[in-house]
Amino acid sequence: MPEGDTVLQTAKRLHSALAGQVLTRSDLRVPRFATADLTGRAVLDVSARGKHLLTRIEDGLTLHSHLRMDGAWRVYAPDERWRGGPAHQIRAILANATHTAVGYRLPVLELLRTKDEEKVVGHLGPDLLGPDWNADTALRNLLADPARPLGEALLDQRNLAGIGNVFKCELCFLARATPWLPIGLLPERTRALLVTTAKQLLEANRDRPVRTTTVGARPRTTTAPAPRARRPSENLWVYGRARRPCLRCGTPIRSADQDTRPTYWCPNCQAGPTP
């Protein structure tokens, strides 16, 4: 699932391609908005709020999209062949004289009044990559239910916005706690570092170069500069590394589902309950 860093990069690419230009083609392929026609209107801005994308259009309209697991936006030049998937997976097309943005497999796509944006993003906690970021508020939100498992609390976008399953696993490793540890049992110093580290990780990955127009295609890293013995591909401490040796202690990484999501941890480096 694309996380906050990737969604922000997507917003920047869409903004660069669409903002300030008049739409010459508009095609929203979802039943509720299939008859909506945005052609002739200028795109004003494309921004991210947590994992949500908000494309603001003239006359007070906003196109709201969310990528969830499989969604993607691609940007093409006028004569470029579209390569994001079969035509039946296309949910949105927005084009101007110089670029075409195509949304594939978008599970959430809706047109609303810009003044009503809070109805779709107002529930979100402080955005780790947004101007509303407030570490104290995020920490208070996380600790509101001290008995809640750490991993679940981090994924709850009402607490803080932008963390997905990859960063959840990596943050738990860096906190030396299993994702099932009640968050209230974290040492006080670790709690404070948790939100600071989360912001640092997302900011570091937000600024990594994009090598393709596909959402989610950038390699993500959470590890420190690798020793010579480590392979360059080992950019993550635990995520996706089941049964492989921990990069810190060599113990095989374990995996299990947490709230239906595959979750990874080191049984030696991380303390707390496990399934």
Q: Is 38 helix (H, G, I), strand (E, B) or coil?
A: coil
Helix axes 188-206, 4-18, angle to 10 degrees: 30
- Residues acting as catalytic residues: 2-3, 51, 261
Yes or no: say if 94 and 111 are a contact pair by the CB < 8 Å rule.
no
Q: What angle do CA 145, 151, 155 make, to 5 degrees?
A: 85
Yes or no: say if 93 and 84 are a contact pair by the CB < 8 Å rule.
no
Q: Which residues on neighbouring strands pair with residue 42, listed in sequence order?
A: 22
Q: Is 72 helix (H, G, I), strand (E, B) or coil?
A: strand
- Tokens 């391609």 belong to residue: 17
Identify the sign of the CA torsion 200, 205, 209, 210: negative
- Give dist(CA 210, CA 212) in Å, integer: 6
Distances from the Cα of 211 to the Cα of 9, 21, 93, 219, 235, angstroms: 12, 25, 22, 9, 17
- Give dist(CA 40, CA 23) in Å, integer: 5
Q: In 10 A of CB 227, how many CB atoms?
A: 7
Q: Is 108 helix (H, G, I), strand (E, B) or coil?
A: strand
